[in-house]
Structure 1
């Protein structure tokens, strides 16, 4: 995939053009996810269709437990990269929807996507404050597959709880990440900011006349109903929308060894039954005679092939004995007739992400040994096989980040911050919030969960790490903040162009 470095306007973003000196490398790179409304709607529908079947099928992003890394101490002081900076969080508008655990922020949720092998995956993420209130931050490896192409059908669901999307689904339009992750798969840049379209909720289906169906620009489909031939002829006379499939074709007699042979039973007389052979073949006996108990009137009126006998038995009961032979046939076919019923899907525009759930603040060049809360949806088992988390609900770790930076050779990491925490994969991409206000449920994103480590060698995750958010991260964030997105459905629920 061609990288879109400069200018942003060429990618369809309403933003200024940025130029770099010929000798300078940009700190950031960007890729389109689903900038067109039609593609965005398709992604939303994919995940929400059939009551969220695809969401329930998804599993946490893959992590190879055969090679759980260790953190290696690199330096004992905070990198000198300029002055610390903060961007304040924003609150959210009132809503009737509630999350059961009120201590958790509404901004956190899951991102869902399809990887290169076609598997449905998810990571953790959060809404973050931005100029256009449309930005999500997560781990870079939850947007870019091994630092290369972006994942398909990428969406964010804030407040995700046990398969539900209480505040709608937000489809990724443009992804921004570190140049080094994009180019070298360097996990010092394992973060990504994604500008998302307005949220949508898919409403109930509505049956409409054909004329309204043809004019509808949103989601629509046809449900056929099988009808009789008489109804079909009447539909044609009335110029209705109806059609037929298949053809009328009689069944053929075949041998019992024919690959399409189907066994049927044919009633016959006692004499022919007695004369028939026993075994498997055309005209052979079909099981034992069947005795049917009937009323006196049924017995008197019976004119079939069965044997009536001489009358009632000692108990006054009447019976008819039936005899059957085998018939092996290749089944015929019959023409089927259908009438079209037309349905439209009425979607609802929910507005900008930040207006619905708010956005966490952003912090960079902060000192080490900060008090932090890391949120996420852990799901994978520990390396020893113990599985304490389900991934259905968000969890968190609290503590202070380490006093020094760490290296992780497996991921080309030189400057990661670390936090003692037992959350497992699935928490990838979850935010690290400093200065967290438990009443407002807001803080400042100062990292995202990137890697998991087993420091004491007991086959259990005990540390997580995040890229250090420095001035380069702030550059990427600033570029992402310029990306404008829009609604993908109209107030009527139609797909916008």
Structure 2
């Protein structure tokens, strides 16, 4: 049986979604863990940026179990509260389109560098990244955060065009860390100001994440039923093979797919209310890919309404056709709200 706490909070729309008062029990659902202190943040950045970014280039897509088994259904989701929105924000530089998608880098329990996908999300201190919880927590043994976590927005073939952002604090749901609940497989990470190497090799600060690349909004408790099947744009860095062995993606550059969402019924791993999207992304590298609702090509902005936590071949033809995400409900909003109000600061003095 899946343990899942059902929340019933009234939520409206505002600058950061809306106000919702958490009871002590609901507050206990928020799990927070440190990733890097200011003192060792420079060491983390140097690890990734040294030798022309050698460790970034040698990192491999993180590959826990990415395939899920299930079927598409015509069921409707059951929201745990009123629909809510958090508004996106454009970069500060005039005329600069948002570049919110990127790679999440970290060193896994095997001691090797790996990567997932992630995206910048609006927050009070403009310092927040959304990704798959598996890309923050190692769940093979006792739950523990991964090492040397960093985010590179706009990553393309080994480059860091907008700097590198070291993770400070991670937030996820209690039910994921304690029960590996598929419905809570998401995480939000606060990052320090970005850093870039100077001509002398020293690290220089280049500002807050959302100020530099913009940040996507957030949508939660949105309807999905037989008559309402929102279309989302999925952004990520898939790299793994299909079941038939074909490799349509390399993971070197950002990929995009567009498809309708629907309710899934999973047999392995079990989940209460998973959501699917028509997407050909393979699993390795795509974990943490953002699902953006009402995405505008002109503005480069939309509302995060899903995060890829697995992929599925629902028609049995040997190729993945479906991305799977937890349904974004009030429980997710509570985790987001805690992370969105957390300050980070900078790891350099210049």
TM-score normalised per structure 1 = 0.62
Q: How does 1:206-225 map onto structure 2 within 5 Å?
A: none
Shift of 1:74: 6.7
DSSP-derived class of the 2:50 partner: helix
Shift of 1:38: 2.4
Describe the superposition over 1:18-77 as per-residue Cα deviations: whole angstroms up to 9, x where unpaired: 9954x667222111100x222111111001100011011111111457xx4322457711
Segments of 4+ moved more than 3 angstroms: 18-21, 72-75
1:197 aligns with 2:199: no
Is the contact between residue 79 and residue 223 of structure 2 (CA under 8 Å) also seen in structure 1?
no
Describe the superposition over 1:429-468 as per-residue Cα deviations: whole angstroms up to 9, x where unpaired: 0110001111010000001111110112222111111110
Instruction: Identify the residue that residue 78 of structure 1 maps to in structure 2.
Output: 77
Instruction: Identify the residue that residue 115 of structure 1 maps to in structure 2.
Output: 108
In 2: Cα distance, 1:487 partner to 1:63 partner: 32
In 1: Cα distance, 2:197 partner to 2:315 partner: 48
1:106 aligns with 2:75: no
Instruction: Identify the residue that residue 398 of structure 1 maps to in structure 2.
Output: 258
DSSP-derived class of the 1:46 partner: helix
1:412 aligns with 2:273: no
Is the contact between residue 363 and residue 446 of structure 1 (CA under 8 Å) also seen in structure 2?
yes
Describe the superposition over 1:342-366 as per-residue Cα deviations: whole angstroms up to 9, x where unpaired: xxx4221111101111100011001
In 2: Cα distance, 1:391 partner to 1:197 partner: 25
In 2: Cα distance, 1:349 partner to 1:25 partner: 34
In 1: Cα distance, 2:75 partner to 2:268 partner: 21
Instruction: Identify the residue that residue 30 of structure 1 maps to in structure 2.
Output: 32
Instruction: Identify the residue that residue 287 of structure 2 maps to in structure 1.
Output: 428
Is the contact between residue 74 and residue 414 of structure 1 (CA under 8 Å) also seen in structure 2?
no
Instruction: Identify the residue that residue 286 of structure 1 maps to in structure 2.
Output: none
1:346 aligns with 2:202: yes
In 2: Cα distance, 1:410 partner to 1:204 partner: 51
Shift of 1:80: 3.1
Q: How does 1:70-469 map onto structure 2 within 5 Å?
A: 70-72=69-71, 76-94=75-93, 105-146=98-139, 148-205=143-200, 345-368=201-224, 369-402=229-262, 405-425=263-283, 426-469=285-328
Unaligned runs of 5+ in 2: 1-20
Describe the superposition over 1:377-407 as per-residue Cα deviations: whole angstroms up to 9, x where unpaired: 01111121111111011111112101xx323
In 2: Cα distance, 1:24 partner to 1:349 partner: 37
Cα–Cα, structure 1 residues 377 and 95, in superposed 2: closer, same or farther, change >3 Å?
farther
Describe the superposition over 1:223-273 as per-residue Cα deviations: whole angstroms up to 9, x where unpaired: xxxxxxxxxxxxxxxxxxxxxxxxxxxxxxxxxxxxxxxxxxxxxxxxxxx
Describe the superposition over 1:68-109 as per-residue Cα deviations: whole angstroms up to 9, x where unpaired: 43224577112131110001000002289x8xxx8xx50000
Unaligned runs of 5+ in 1: 1-17, 206-344, 492-497
DSSP-derived class of the 2:125 partner: coil
Shift of 1:131: 0.5
DSSP-derived class of the 2:273 partner: strand
In 1: Cα distance, 2:150 partner to 2:276 partner: 28
Instruction: Identify the residue that residue 303 of structure 1 maps to in structure 2.
Output: none
1:481 aligns with 2:337: no
In 2: Cα distance, 1:69 partner to 1:448 partner: 14
1:61 aligns with 2:62: yes
Describe the superposition over 1:295-330 as per-residue Cα deviations: whole angstroms up to 9, x where unpaired: xxxxxxxxxxxxxxxxxxxxxxxxxxxxxxxxxxxx
Instruction: Identify the residue that residue 227 of structure 1 maps to in structure 2.
Output: none
In 1: Cα distance, 2:280 partner to 2:291 partner: 14
Is the contact between residue 378 and residue 395 of structure 1 (CA under 8 Å) also seen in structure 2?
yes
Shift of 1:179: 1.2
In 1: Cα distance, 2:253 partner to 2:334 partner: 32
